[in-house]
Amino acid sequence: MQIVTEIGLLKVDFLGLATLTVMQRAAVLIEKHHGVTFNLATIPTDDPDAFKLLASGAVQGVFQVEGPGMRRILQENKPTRLEHIIALVALYRPGPLEYIPNYIRRMHGEEEIKYKAPQLEPILKETYGIFVYQEQLMRTAMDLAGYTATDADKLRKAVAKKKKDDLLKQREKFVGGGVKKGLNERLLNEIFDDFEAFARYGFPKGHAADYAVVTVQTAYLKSKYPVEYITALLSVSCGDTDKASGYVADATALGIKILPPSINWSGIDFGMEKLPAHEVKGKITHDVGIRFGLAAVKNVGEGPVQTIITARGEKPFASLDDFARRVDLRQVNRRALECLVKAGAFDEFGHRNQLLQAVDSMVSLSAEHHRAQDVGQMSLFGGLMGPTPASGGFALNTLALPRADEPSAKEMLSWEKDLLGCFLGEHPLHRLAQTLDSKITHSLNDLDPSLKGQPVVIAGMINSIRVRQTKKGDPFAFITIEDLGGQVDVTLFPRVYEGVKALLTTDTLVLVRGKVDTYNDKANVLADEVREYSLDAVANVEPVALNEVDWSRVEAVDNFFPSAPPEWTGDEAAEAAPDFAPAPASEMPAAPPLTLRPPTVEAVAPARPEPATPARVSESPAPAYAKPVVAPSTPPPTTPPATVAEEPDLAADLVYHLEITLPRSGNNEDDIRRLGEIHKLVSGYAGHDTFSVIVPRGSARVQIDFPNDKTKCNKLLIKQLEQRLGSHSVRVINKTPPDAREKWRKQAGT
């Protein structure tokens, strides 16, 4: 790149900003739902609401300013126009960071603005007498020392590159030119000294302005259209669990309901859904919620999701049977199906442990059904096995949910965190979050290396614990704690650990007072005090005052252990030192590279009806977001016992095949129902025998095989079938190989 510049060519850097995709998707949603059209040229940069949002610090998802350091600056600065943001973007970098307090005080009239020469006032007035931009340096050289624009650019390059020979020549030229214009030589040398100090942080105003425009525009979109903007943010960042969890927490804080993924109501991507009136209460202030997209569930790709959505069409699935028969689960791998169940996408059909145990049955039923369709067997009832009024599909109620204990709240939260990147259920921290607002200084996702050495009070749930010993044998610990938005490592040195080791168990809620340190460019906390996290503990904690931020970056707090303790030497020290590093906050793999798709417009789903008593499979109460479920037209038959003691089995060690004839009734829907009942009856007996159903059709017979289902051939089953279908409706075929059959005859003596 240096050679390119030296030979006179223009070098241009192109940045790929995911923020532009967020803005585009938000604009599409806004136009769809509000009829307002935006593009990059028409999103306002002077709206008061945008600056109110920036000044409030509620800038999660706002371009360039969502870090905790910039958030604090905005709250102190209270910007009111674009120029303030341009200056902060340029100043918030190593070097100029130390001038930010002066800039803020001068902006608010709390510090006198001084200029070394009257000629500098029109140049530095917009930045309150502080050199911020490279363009200010160039204009100073032109106005005070008679430089041409070309010469001023050469001065800018010399200052930026810090080449001594070039700087010496430029100093002589600047001072000489200023003296010719009647300025004091000492003053000119002082100004040039400022130039050299400025070299470590000079920033082009054009660059800062481009960034600041996008900053204010994203603040405008978030302040005016928060649901659309956060939907777009989640859509673009769903591969980054840390960001996604932060945006979910931010949406909740703004009164926006985040709806879990649903097999019936989710699209591929995040979408917006109208909430029933009774759900808009308390902290939920928006009547439109954000529905998780199915493809946002970990391990579930767009291909399987598209298969499900295509099969669903405009008609929700009425039951697991309906789902298995309408969706070809041969195209949806088992792992994806299990992840959807764990993430809550099937919650309206039963609790998650039941559903997980039913996955194999769903896959088998779907495979059997779609194989039969492939060979035309489903036309046996005259082509009427398509949609039915009751279910929207070929609905045989053959899938019964097994008995299983409901998953614990902890287990469900763990699944959600792993598969969605955030907590949608009731986390223990939800209950105390409001009480803590005035007591803690930072949420865990606010902590970053710029806070090194700063005192903090944080709260979270213990996720993991590692106990180690010093060379002297004193125990100490590393714990990882998490809150609703992130997690951080906390080091408990021997004195602190000794006092709190009894309460250190996973899932314990704790308050931690300490100081921020860094390791591998990540923030962690050195604990001075740890308390159990309860309402009483919260009431007794005094908030830490952080009004005076040390912008010069205070010296790091001394690490309790250096890279190797002084008394250790050689291999022993090298071997043990790594154990003293904080445990990594997460073992999650890096987020996949962002794949930008053309924006998809998710229409706001209509308000969900409020069913009086929706039919459900499980006895657990329906969640607030449950949709009404269509009840089956007839109750499912009772599942027979797996073994029957009062009826002797046919020879247990032989292999049989049952051939069952289902006579036609003349009513297609009734025949479909009876076929489902027969299938459920036969497959309810656990065994290794096979079966098929024969359906007469005119002079022909159609055979339906069930290769994935087995039964136990016994006299009670045959008796039950003949009672339902008539005598001689069951043919038992001995499928035992001849050599095994002969061996059995000899042993049985028959």
Instruction: Tell me the per-residue pLDDT of 630-686, one tens digit each, with 9 for 90 and over.
Output: 333 334 444 444 333 334 455 656 888 999 998 887 777 778 888 888 988 998 888
**Domains of the chain and any CATH numbers:** 16-93+203-226 (1.10.150.700), 111-201 (no CATH), 238-312+321-420 (no CATH), 437-545+555-580 (2.40.50.140), 656-748 (no CATH)
The predicted pLDDT at position 644 comes to 36
Contact between residue 450 and residue 68 where contact means Cβ atoms under 8 Å apart: yes
H/E stretch holding 733 reads strand 730-734
- Residue by residue, DSSP assigns 599-642 as ----PPBPPPP--SS---SSSSPPPTTPPP-PPPSSPPPPPPPS
At 435 the pLDDT is 63
Alpha-carbon gap, residue 126 to 309, rounded angstroms: 55
Average pLDDT for 376-383: 51
Tell me how far the alpha carbon of residue 659 is from its chain's centroid.
51
How distant is the alpha carbon of residue 715 from its chain centre? Answer: 55
Q: Which two tokens stand for residue 387?
A: 């949609």
User: 74: buried, middle or exposed (CB in 10 Å: 19+, 13-18, 0-12)?
Assistant: buried
Question: What is the per-residue DSSP string for 468-531?
Answer: EE-TTS-EEEEEEEE-SS-EEEEEE-HHHHHHHGGG--TT-EEEEEEEEEEETTEEEEEEEEEE
CB atoms within 10 A of CB 150: 7
The DSSP H or E segment spanning 659 is strand 656-661
Residues with Cβ within 8 Å of residue 418, at least 6 apart in sequence:
298
pLDDT at site 702 = 77
CA angle (620 as vertex; 250, 323 as ends), nearest 5: 80
Percent of the chain exceeding pLDDT 90 equals 34
pLDDT of residue 104: 92
Rg (CA), the chain: 35
What is each CA distance from 562 to 204, 217, 468, 519, 558, in whole angstroms? 40, 46, 15, 12, 8
In angstroms, the CA 713 to CA 685 distance is 8
Q: In what order do the strands lie in the sheet with 271-274?
A: 258-259, 288-291, 271-274
pLDDT tens for 383-412 read 434 433 333 333 344 567 888 888 888 788
Q: What are phi and psi of 247, to 5 degrees?
A: -70, -35
Residues 196-227 have pLDDT tens digits of 776 666 788 988 999 999 999 999 999 999 99
Least confident of 41-50, 82-91, 599-608: 599-608
Amino acid at site 392: G
Q: Edge-to-edge, what's the strand order for the sheet holding 690-697? A: 700-705, 690-697, 656-661, 730-734
- Which residues neighbour 661 within 8 Å (Cβ) at sequence distance 6 or greater? 693, 694, 695, 696, 725, 729, 730, 731
Say yes or no to pLDDT of 581 above 60. no
Burial of 210 by CB count in 10 Å (0-12 exposed, 13-18 middle, 19+ buried)? middle
Task: Indicate if the pLDDT at residue 180 is higher than 70.
Answer: yes
The Cα–Cα gap between 537 and 534 comes to: 5
Quick one: which of 220, 198, 237 has its CA closest to 85? 220
Rounded to 5 degrees, φ, ψ at 489 are -90, 140
DSSP state of 711: B
Closest CA to 339 of 349, 330, 352, 327: 352
SS3 694: strand
> Mean per-residue pLDDT for 426-439?
63
Please tell me the distance from the alpha carbon of residue 234 to that of residue 246, in angstroms, as a whole number: 10
CA torsion 608-610-615-618 (nearest 10°) is 80
Rounded distance, CA 511 to CA 493, Å?
A: 16
299 within 8 A of 333, measured Cβ to Cβ: no
Identify the pLDDT of residue 233: 94
pLDDT at 294: 93
* pLDDT the model gives residue 427: 62
Predicted confidence band at 699 (pLDDT cuts at 50, 70, 90)? low
For residue 697, what is the enclosing H or E element? strand 690-697
The pLDDT, as a whole number, for residue 265 is 94
Of residues 741, 641, 654, 728, the one with CA closest to residue 689: 654
Of 66, 61, 62, the residue nearest 234 (C-alpha): 61
Instruction: Give pLDDT tens digits for 477-527.
Output: 999 998 877 789 999 999 899 888 888 888 788 889 999 998 877 889 999
228-283: per-residue pLDDT in tens?
999 999 999 877 777 888 888 889 889 999 999 999 999 999 999 999 988 888 88
Contact 660, 682 (CB under 8 A): yes
Summarize pLDDT for 115-148 with one digit per residue, the tens. 989 999 999 999 999 888 889 999 999 999 999 9
Question: Is residue 619 scored above 70 in pLDDT?
Answer: no
Look up tokens 């240096």; give the residue: 2
534 close to 541: Cβ distance less than 8 angstroms? no
